[in-house]
Amino acid sequence: MTSATPLPTLWGDRRIVLGITGGIAAYKLCTVASALAKDQAQVRALLTQTAQQFITPLSFSTLCRHRAYTDADLWADHSPRPLHIELGEWAEVMVIAPLTAQTLAKLALGLADNLLTNTVLASHCPILLAPAMNTDMWEQPIVQHHWQTLLAQPRYHGMAPGSGILACDRQGAGRMVEPATILAHLQSLLHSGGQQDWQHQRVLVTAGGTQEYWDPVRFLGNPATGRMGVALAQAAAHRGAKVTLIQGTGLENEELEAAIAGTSIVCHRVTQAAQMQQQLEALFPQQDWLVMAAAVADLRPTAYSAVKVAKADLATTLPLEPVPDLVATLAQRKQPHQRLIGFAAQSGDIVTPALGKLQRKGLDAIVANPIDQPNSGFGSGWNQAVILDRAGRQRAISPCTKLALAHQILDFCRDLAP
């Protein structure tokens, strides 16, 4: 793990089919197509007839660096095999967005009357669904029945729409998730192959930093953003876990909400270590896993002033006291089925201190990551690490996105000895 280590392409040569249907949110798929193709993915866009009322095939041909397909191509001569068969077998993953009530019903009933639905039935890859429609349409019992019917099938993965002001000026549910949310879930599906291997697991993740105030405007803190912890929460949720996230300081609410959009992640926001401790003590007993990715303060001021201390009255020394070791305390209370995963952000030798922390705190595994290397540590979208467990296993992870690292951490932890 050196600065000379090249960053991998995120989507290089992966085979992705984008199915665009007839909704105003179709324009968001342009951003998805562009991001994928720029990073060397092979992207094929299929537009339904109604999709072309909102956006043109030429737009996707340009962005995908490959011709876009329409229903006219279903009936064209594609010897030796039909186009929908070729595309269905070629795709590693499919995205259908904005998923309309019409296409949702067709998929739930197994109908195939256009190129997109024929390709779905001719494929076996995971399919990612992003609905978008008017609130009243989305909340219709029959629409919800079709939605639940699809989600009950292992190959279908859904990102439920959020709430907001819709194109029809209605305020309510039905707003399609943003491109970044689609891309994150796509990354997860390509890693897992769509397997829900963390299904039925209850996972509690902490993320971000803490701020320990000595008056209303001054505090001790750290630069942790929470992106690594949020990535772990995303990865676990994408693989079927029931996830609860305790987010400390770092990410703004808007970025955090975008990161967990379309998932069932339950999020609690805290600022101080004492607040995180309170949440952990309430939530940990019901969990199977605790992933302690938060950068919790080690020290805090011994006293707090309810009013701002004047500059002239500031002392040259600040009395401090230790913050309770949250994860070590929980390790003493854990049940036999529970697993605790810690983090160690280090400079220089990252393995030796992490091993000591693993044993001292009673953890089942620990993730050591460098804060003095490029493309890793606080604030970066990338990271690298060495993962260690009590049985002596070690796995070094080269620089990758934090979501990719999160999946590799889950792969490692899934095989922890009881």
Return binding residues for CTP: 298, 308, 324-327, 343, 357, 361
Sheet containing 93-99: give its strands across. 42-47, 15-20, 93-99, 127-131, 156-158
- Given 30, 64, 168, 400, the catalytic residue: 168
Sequence-ordered list of residues with C-beta below 8 angstroms from that of 184, at least 6 positions apart, any chain: 234, 238, 259, 403
| Measured CA distances, 136 to 50, 63, 141, 172, 178 (Å) | 21, 33, 10, 9, 21
Say how far apart CA 22 and CA 25 lie, in whole Å: 8
Total residues found in the chain within this entry:
418
Residue ranges at the known binding site: 298, 308, 324-327, 343, 357, 361
List residues bridging with 300 in a β-sheet.
321
Are the C-beta atoms of residues 273 and 300 closer than 8 Å to each other? yes
Tell me which residue of 191, 8, 197 sits closest to 93, measured CA to CA: 191
DSSP classification of residue 204: E
**Residue 400 falls in the annotated catalytic set:** no
Calpha distance 85→400 (Å, rounded) = 34
How far CA 412 is from CA of 192, 237, 389, 397, 408, in Å, comes to 13, 16, 9, 11, 6
Confirm if 225 and 378 have CB atoms less than 8 A apart: yes
Alpha-carbon distances, residue 373 vs 4, 64, 350 (angstroms)? 10, 34, 11
Tokens of 167: 């194109």
Q: Sign of dihedral through CA atoms 106, 107, 111, 112?
A: positive
Tally Cβ neighbours within 10 Å of residue 263: 22
Cis upstream peptide for 98 (omega within 30°):
yes
Residue at 90: amino acid letter: W
Q: Return d(Cα 298, Cα 321) in angstroms, integer.
A: 9
Task: Count the helix, strand and coil residues of the chain and give each as a percent rounded to the nearest 5.
Answer: 35, 25, 40
Place of tokens 């876009």: 68
- Whole-angstrom Cα Rg for the chain: 24
Q: Which residue has the tokens 């705190």?
A: 361
Active site residues: 168
